[in-house]
Amino acid sequence: GAVVSQHPSRVICKSGTSVKIECRSLDFQATTMFWYRQFPKQSLMLMATSNEGSKATYEQGVEKDKFLINHASLTLSTLTVTSAHPEDSSFYICSAGTSGGPSTDTQYFGPGTRLTVL
Amino acid sequence: GEDVEQSLFLSVREGDSSVINCTYTDSSSTYLYWYKQEPGAGLQLLTYIFSNMDMKQDQRLTVLLNKKDKHLSLRIADTQTGDSAIYFCAESIGGGFKTIFGAGTRLFVKA
């Protein structure tokens, strides 16, 4: 149980285009989903927290107009990187929080999406 | 502020025990976690410990928590080459989902 999927797993795009990444909780309902960014050999940096049906809460320094987050249902959240630039190239990981896991504060992570902007 | 620190590398021989250490600063942590990340993949929850416990054992994994020193460790018994990965220590704070991650410890297992 507690499986989170992401699509696509890899994406290469041209500079200036927008890319949408989907995060789905497959066998549970996630009231809260998180988006992280991971740079090579570094830890995860929390970008934003989204609750179903409400606006996402962005961490300091993360541009909300550039990284659009939509959490339309209890099983799906999307991250759209708008007008992508090479510096947006990174590994993006989502996670979903559930009260049905081993702890009420546990997050289950997706496999990540590697974005390369040319 | 909130901070989680780990050593960056650990190298062990196959069959030996591995001990990965972590320190954290927030005394209001409710749960502490160990995650495993294999190359190019997301994070896999290995184990967790509630802040009022001092030890948890799960097959080859033993978690020790010293709340006074804010020190957490993960011991992997009989380490195998398949255990080579990055291990992240993390704490959830404030009674909610917010989780702070360490930088990760890269474990190398030599055959």
Helix %, strand %, coil % for chain B, to 5? 5, 55, 40
Is residue B95 pLDDT above 60, yes or no? no
Six-digit token pair at B26? 């927030």
User: Rounded to an integer, what distance in angstroms lies between the CA atom of residue B52 and that of residue B81?
Assistant: 33
Nearest CA in chain B to A5: B42
Nearest CA in chain A to B46: A108
Distance from CA of A83 to the nearest CA of B (A): 25
Query: Could you tell me whether strands B9-13 and B105-110 are parallel, antiparallel, or unpaired per DSSP bridges?
Result: parallel
Is residue A114 pLDDT above 90, yes or no? yes
User: Rounded to an integer, what distance in angstroms lies between the CA atom of residue A102 and that of residue A36?
Assistant: 22
> Please, which pLDDT band fits residue A1 given cuts at 50, 70 and 90?
low
Distance from CA of B67 to the nearest CA of A (A): 19
**Residues of A near B (CB-CB distance < 8 A)?**
4, 6, 32, 34, 42-44, 46, 49, 93, 95, 97, 102-103, 105-112, 114
Tell me the pLDDT tens digit for each residue of B33-92. 999 999 878 888 899 888 888 999 999 999 999 999 999 999 999 999 999 999 999 988
Tell me the pLDDT tens digit for each residue of B9-33. 999 999 999 999 999 987 777 788 9
In this structure, of A60-69, A74-83, B16-25, B92-101, the range with the lowest mean pLDDT score is B92-101
Interchain contact, B101 vs A43, CB within 8 Å: yes
Six-digit token pair at A8? 């696509």
> Please, which pLDDT band fits residue A80 given cuts at 50, 70 and 90?
very high
* DSSP annotation of A86: G
Nearest CA in chain B to A50: B97
Question: For position B100, what pLDDT does the model report?
Answer: 84
Interchain contact, A106 vs B40, CB within 8 Å: no
A78 forms beta bridges with A22, A70
Burial of residue A30 (CB within 10 Å: 0-12, 13-18, 19+) is buried
Question: For position A52, what pLDDT does the model report?
Answer: 81
Interchain contact, A43 vs B48, CB within 8 Å: no
Nearest CA in chain A to B97: A105
The arithmetic mean of pLDDT across residues A90-110, rounded, is: 75
In this structure, of A44-48, A96-100, B15-19, B83-87, the range with the lowest mean pLDDT score is A96-100
A23 forms beta bridges with A6, A77
Question: For position A112, what pLDDT does the model report?
Answer: 92
